[in-house]
Amino acid sequence: MMSDKQKLVVIGNGMAGARTVEEILARGGGQQFDITMFGDEPYGNYNRILLSNVLNGTQDPADIFLNPLEWYTENTVTLHAPARVTQIDRARKEICSDDGQVTSYDKLLIATGSRPFVPPMEGLKGPQGEDKHGVFVFRTIDDCHKIAGYANKCRKAAVIGGGLLGLEAARGLLNYGVEVHVIHLAPWLMNNQLDAQGGKILTSIMEKMGVHVHLEKATAAVLGEDSVTGLQFKDGTILDCDMVIISAGITPNNELARDCGLTVERAIVTDNQMRSVDDPDIYVVGECAQHRGRVYGLVAPLWEQGQVLADHITGSNENAAYHGSKIATKLKVMGVELASMGVTEASDDRDEVVIFSEPKRGTYKKLIIRDGILIGAMMLGDLNKVAYLMQAFDRGTPLPEERLSLLFDIGAPSVEATMLEMPDTAQICNCNGVSKGQIRKCVEGGKRSLKMVMEATRAGMGCGSCKKLVSEVVEWAAEGQIEEDPSIHFYVPGVALVKSELVEVIMARGLKSVSSVFDTLAHGVEDAGSKMGLASLLKSLWGAEYEDERDARYINDRVHANIQKDKTFSVIPRIFGGVTTADELIKIGQVAKKYNVPMVKFTGGQRIDLLGITKENLPKVWKDLGMPSGHGYAKSFRTCKTCVGTDFCRYGVGDSTGLGIKIEKRFQGIESPGKLKLATAGCPRNCSEAMVKDLGAVAVEGGNWEIYVGGAAGAHIRKGDILCIVDSHEAVLQIMGRFMQYYIETAKYLERTSSFVERIGMDKIRAVVVEDSEGIAARLDAAIQASVDAYVDPWLEADTPATANQFVSTLPVMQA
Partner 1 sequence: MISEKTKYALGSVTQIPLGEGRNFRIGDTEIAIFHTRQGIYATQAECPHRRGPLADGLVGGTQVTCPFHAWKFDLKTGEPQMGSCALQTYPVHLTESGDIELTFLGEAARFAS
Q: Which parts of this chain interact with partner 1 (CB under 8 A)? A: 432, 455-456, 458, 461-462, 494, 515, 525-532, 549-552, 554-555, 558, 563, 565, 567, 803-805, 808-816
Question: In this complex, which beta carbon is closest to partner 1, that of residue 78 or of residue 487?
Answer: 487
Taking CA atoms, 82 is separated from 37, 66, 98, 137, 807, in Å, by: 10, 17, 9, 19, 61
Question: In this complex, which beta carbon is closest to partner 1, that of residue 354 or of residue 522?
Answer: 522
d(CA 15, CA 17): 6
- Residue type for 633, please? Y
Cβ contact 675:635 at 8 Å: yes
Cβ contact 744:730 at 8 Å: no
DSSP state of 673: S
- Tell how strand 676-681 and strand 695-700 pair up: parallel
Shortest distance, CB of residue 68 to partner 1, whole angstroms?
18
Taking CA atoms, 161 is separated from 50, 132, 149, 227, 685, in Å, by: 19, 19, 21, 21, 70
Question: In this complex, which beta carbon is closest to partner 1, that of residue 581 or of residue 815?
Answer: 815
Question: In this complex, which beta carbon is closest to partner 1, that of residue 582 or of residue 811?
Answer: 811
Question: In this complex, which beta carbon is closest to partner 1, that of residue 412 or of residue 813?
Answer: 813
Shortest distance, CB of residue 255 to partner 1, whole angstroms?
45
d(CA 222, CA 150): 17
Helix (H, G, I), strand (E, B) or coil at 795: helix
Question: In this complex, which beta carbon is closest to partner 1, that of residue 100 or of residue 812?
Answer: 812
Question: In this complex, which beta carbon is closest to partner 1, that of residue 129 or of residue 812?
Answer: 812
d(CA 180, CA 227): 18
Cβ contact 605:577 at 8 Å: no
Question: In this complex, which beta carbon is closest to partner 1, that of residue 506 or of residue 552?
Answer: 552
The C-alpha angle 656, 657, 661, rounded to 5 degrees, equals: 115
Shortest distance, CB of residue 584 to partner 1, whole angstroms?
31
- For 776, counting Cβ atoms within 10 Å of its Cβ (0-12 exposed, 13-18 middle, 19+ buried), the class is middle
Shortest distance, CB of residue 562 to partner 1, whole angstroms?
11
Shortest distance, CB of residue 513 to partner 1, whole angstroms?
11
Question: In this complex, which beta carbon is closest to partner 1, that of residue 525 or of residue 586?
Answer: 525
Shortest distance, CB of residue 749 to partner 1, whole angstroms?
14
- Residue type for 142, please? D
Question: In this complex, which beta carbon is closest to partner 1, that of residue 528 or of residue 586?
Answer: 528
d(CA 743, CA 764): 12
Shortest distance, CB of residue 624 to partner 1, whole angstroms?
24
d(CA 722, CA 120): 75
Cβ contact 474:439 at 8 Å: yes
Taking CA atoms, 19 is separated from 135, 288, 309, 383, in Å, by: 31, 15, 11, 29
Cβ contact 44:20 at 8 Å: no
Question: In this complex, which beta carbon is closest to partner 1, that of residue 26 or of residue 463?
Answer: 463
Shortest distance, CB of residue 522 to partner 1, whole angstroms?
10
Shortest distance, CB of residue 432 to partner 1, whole angstroms?
8
Half-sphere exposure of 622 (CA within 13 A, CB side): 26
Shortest distance, CB of residue 551 to partner 1, whole angstroms?
3
Helix (H, G, I), strand (E, B) or coil at 51: helix
Shortest distance, CB of residue 463 to partner 1, whole angstroms?
12
